[in-house]
């Protein structure tokens, strides 16, 4: 009887070891727990921004703040969208995003020009995602100046899931995503579980970097 129990214990340990070995070599994003973007009213991301234009480098700061939760009904389904407002160096509200987090990805909401009457819901970041996996996305931003939403269709590719980077806010292990647009421009983003967007780079259609953003400070509850 003791020999049988010992055999069962050894078998369980072997199976556990195999499982851990398989998971460690898996290239999936660690964001499967859907905490890649901590959403709570009051959370803030402070960024250091660099804009490169005509061989001139302009530096500044911006911050993103979760300001409210909004109920959205689309095709008889009810969603909760978190409004994230971006403030520029002069503390002016310039953009808004409306985001929800699910077990399969981050979605963003939009309409044509009314941020309080959202009609569209589209996938932005899929998880768990695997290195070299692709999907289509539509990125929506509400611009306060024009009082309209932008609707940018793109192809997203996961470039990696365990990239260690250093930014002013500290060291992070990130999943890396590239957004490819029809005009041949692209955006590369680094996302960390429990922290959100850590680094952002925008490249024009010639492959030259135009804008860079790195996380400087994170305030989350």
Please tell me the distance from the alpha carbon of residue 24 to that of residue 26, in angstroms, as a whole number: 5
Please tell me the distance from the alpha carbon of residue 144 to that of residue 141, in angstroms, as a whole number: 9
Is residue 16 domain-resident?
no
| Cis amide leading into 128 (omega within 30) | yes
pLDDT in tens, 173-197: 999 999 999 999 999 999 999 999 9
Please tell me the distance from the alpha carbon of residue 171 to that of residue 179, in angstroms, as a whole number: 23
Is residue 18 domain-resident?
no
Domain extent at residue 147 = 27-219
Residue 172 belongs to domain with CATH number: 2.40.360.20
Structure confidence at residue 138 (pLDDT): 82
Structure confidence at residue 29 (pLDDT): 52
What is the helix (H) or strand (E) element at residue 203, kind and residue range? Answer: strand 196-203
Rg (CA), the chain: 20
Structure confidence at residue 94 (pLDDT): 92
Structure confidence at residue 152 (pLDDT): 80
Structure confidence at residue 26 (pLDDT): 42
Please tell me the distance from the alpha carbon of residue 125 to that of residue 47, in angstroms, as a whole number: 20
Is residue 65 domain-resident?
yes
Is residue 195 domain-resident?
yes
Decide if 137 contacts 75 (C-beta within 8 A): no
Is residue 1 domain-resident?
no
Per-residue confidence at 6, pLDDT binned at 50, 70, 90?
very low
Is residue 20 domain-resident?
no
Count: domains in the chain: 1
Global confidence as pTM: 0.82
Is residue 163 domain-resident?
yes
pLDDT in tens, 124-171: 999 888 999 999 998 777 887 777 787 788 999 999 999 999 999 999
Is residue 2 domain-resident?
no
């Amino acid at each position: 009887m003791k020999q049988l129990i010992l055999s069962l214990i050894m078998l369980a340990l072997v199976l556990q070891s195999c499982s851990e070995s398989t998971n460690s070599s898996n290239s999936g994003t660690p964001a499967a727990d859907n905490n890649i973007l901590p959403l709570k009213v009051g959370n803030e991301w402070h960024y250091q921004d660099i804009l490169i234009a005509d061989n001139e480098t302009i530096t500044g700061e911006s911050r993103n703040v979760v300001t409210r939760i909004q109920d959205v009904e689309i095709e008889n389904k009810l969603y909760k969208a978190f409004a994230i407002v971006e403030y520029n160096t002069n503390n002016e509200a310039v953009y808004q995003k409306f985001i929800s987090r699910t077990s399969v990805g981050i979605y963003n909401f939009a309409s044509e020009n009314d941020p309080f009457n959202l009609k569209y819901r589209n996938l932005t970041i899929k998880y768990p995602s695997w290195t070299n996996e692709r999907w289509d996305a539509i990125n929506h931003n509400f611009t306060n100046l024009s009082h309209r939403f932008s609707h940018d269709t793109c192809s997203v590719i996961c470039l990696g899931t365990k990239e260690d980077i250093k930014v002013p806010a500290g060291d992070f292990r990130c999943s890396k995503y590239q957004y490819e647009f029809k005009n041949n421009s692209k955006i590369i983003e680094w996302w960390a579980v429990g922290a959100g967007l850590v680094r952002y780079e925008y490249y024009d259609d010639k492959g030259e970097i135009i804008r860079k953003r790195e996380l400087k400070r994170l305030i989350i509850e």
